[in-house]
C-alpha cells in the first residue's frame, strides 16, 4: 500500500489500483479527493471536511463513495443517495478493497468552554491509523500512525506520549499546516528521540 501525504490532515492510500483518501479538508489541495474510490472524513471541522471538495470528487466518479460520521453525512447524503455512509465507533466495513475499522467518538478538548463535537478515527487494513482530531488509541497493533503533530488542542508532551501508547512501527506527521518551518526541527527531534518509534515528516506529495 502506497501512502501519499497531502496538505495538512489529508492522505491518499493506494492499493491494487484503488485509492482511499482521508480528510480532504479546506487546507488540502483542491483536487485532493479527486480520483478516490473511497473517501473517509473524521469530523466536521473545515480543515478536515470541505463540502465543495467532496462534491467535486463524488461528481467526477459516480462510483466513488464516502464514509463518515452523521454530522458530515447529513450534509451530502441527499445529493448522493446510496453513496454516503454513516459510521461510528466499533463499525467495520470493506470498501474499494480496503478493510476499515472505526475507532473513537469525540474530538479532543480545545477549551472547556468549547463544546466537544464527534470525531472518529480509521484503521485501514489493520495497518494505517488516522485518528482525526483526537489522541485515540485503537487497541490494535498499528504499523503506521498518522500523527496529528500540532493543533490548538494539543501540546508536544501529549503528542510524544500518544506515540508511546500506540506503539506504532513508525509515525508520519499530519495536521501540520499551522506548524512553521522554524519549529519543525524541534518537533522532529523531540518526537523522534522520545516517541520510541521511527518518525517521518513528508512534504505534500511525498510518499512512504
Domain contains 205: no
Q: What is the per-residue pLDDT for 202?
A: 96
Residue 15 structural domain:
2-200
Q: Considering the domain boundaries, does residue 78 fall inside one? A: yes
Please state the domain count of the chain. 1
Is position 189 within any domain? Answer: yes
Q: Using CA of residue 7, residue 11, residue 14, residue 19, what is the dihedral sign? A: negative
Does residue 152 form part of some domain?
yes
- CA gap 29, 10 in Å, rounded: 9
**Residue 32's pLDDT is what?**
95
In a domain, 86, yes or no: yes
Tell me the pLDDT tens digit for each residue of 32-90: 999 999 999 999 999 999 999 999 999 999 999 999 999 999 999 999 999 999 999 99
- The x, y and z cell numbers of residue 32, run together, are 485532493
CATH number at residue 53: 3.60.15.10
Q: Which residues of 77-88 are buried (b: 16+ CB within 10 A; e: fewer)?
A: beebeeebeebe
203: three-class secondary structure by DSSP? coil
Q: Give yes or no for a contact between 53 and 33, defined as CB atoms under 8 angstroms apart.
A: yes
Residue 18: all three cell numbers together: 484503488
Q: Is residue 207 part of a domain?
A: no
For residue 60, tell me if it sits in a domain.
yes
Is residue 117 in a domain?
yes
Task: At 101, give phi and psi (nearest 5°).
Answer: -110, 145
pTM greater than the 0.85 cutoff: yes
Q: What are phi and psi of 22, to 5 degrees?
A: -115, 130
- Those residues whose C-beta lies under 8 Å from the C-beta of residue 142, and which sit 6 or more positions away, are 123, 127, 128, 129, 166, 167, 168, 169
Tens of pLDDT, residue by residue over 12-38, are: 999 999 999 999 999 999 999 999 999
Amino acid at each position: 500500500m502506497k501512502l501519499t501525504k497531502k496538505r495538512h490532515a489529508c492522505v491518499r492510500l493506494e492499493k491494487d489500483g484503488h485509492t482511499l483518501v482521508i480528510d480532504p479538508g479546506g487546507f488540502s489541495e483542491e483536487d485532493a479527493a479527486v480520483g478516490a474510490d473511497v473517501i473517509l472524513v473524521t469530523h466536521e471541522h473545515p480543515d478536515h471536511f470541505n463540502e465543495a471538495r467532496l462534491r467535486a470528487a463524488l461528481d467526477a466518479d459516480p462510483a466513488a463513495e464516502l464514509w463518515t460520521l452523521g454530522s458530515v453525512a447529513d450534509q451530502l447524503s441527499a445529493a448522493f443517495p446510496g453513496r454516503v455512509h454513516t459510521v461510528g465507533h466499533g463499525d467495520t466495513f470493506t470498501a474499494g478493497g480496503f478493510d476499515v475499522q472505526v475507532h473513537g467518538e469525540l474530538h479532543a478538548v480545545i477549551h472547556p468552554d468549547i463544546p466537544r463535537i464527534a470525531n472518529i478515527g480509521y484503521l485501514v487494513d489493520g495497518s494505517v491509523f488516522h485518528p482525526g482530531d483526537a489522541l485515540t488509541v485503537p487497541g490494535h497493533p498499528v504499523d503506521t500512525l498518522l500523527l496529528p503533530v500540532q493543533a490548538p488542542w494539543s501540546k508536544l508532551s501529549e503528542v510524544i506520549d500518544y506515540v508511546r501508547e500506540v506503539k506504532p512501527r513508525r509515525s508520519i506527521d499530519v495536521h501540520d499546516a499551522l506548524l512553521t518551518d522554524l519549529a519543525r526541527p524541534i518537533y522532529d527531534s523531540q518526537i523522534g528521540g522520545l516517541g520510541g518509534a521511527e518518525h517521518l515528516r513528508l512534504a505534500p506529495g511525498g510518499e512512504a
